[in-house]
Amino acid sequence: MAPSTTLALGTLPGKLIALPGVYSPQADTRLLAEALSREELDATTDVLDIGTGTGALALCAARTGARVVAVDVSWRAVIAAKLNAIRQGQRLRVLHGDFSTRVQGRRFDLILTNPPYVPSARSRPPSHGAARAWDAGPDGRAVIDRVCARAPALLRPGGVLLMVHSAMSCPETTVDRLRTAGLTARITGRTSVPWGPVLRGRRSWLQGRGLADEGVEHEELVIIRAEHL
d(CA 80, CA 111): 20
Domains of the chain with CATH codes = 24-227 (3.40.50.150)
pTM equals 0.92
Distance of CA 76 to the CA centre of its chain: 17
pLDDT for position 1? 55
pLDDT for position 11? 74
- Determine contact, residues 195/207, Cβ cutoff 8 Å: no
d(CA 209, CA 214): 12
122-137 burial, b at 16+ Cβ within 10 Å, e below that, comes to: eeebeeeeebbbbbbb
Look at residues 172, 33, 196, 177 and name the one whose alpha carbon lies nearest to residue 114.
33
pLDDT for position 6? 29
pLDDT for position 127? 79
Q: Which mean pLDDT values do the consecutive 10-residue runs of the chain (229 residues) have?
A: 39 86 94 96 98 97 97 97 96 96 95 96 82 91 97 98 97 98 96 92 92 90 97
pLDDT for position 132? 87
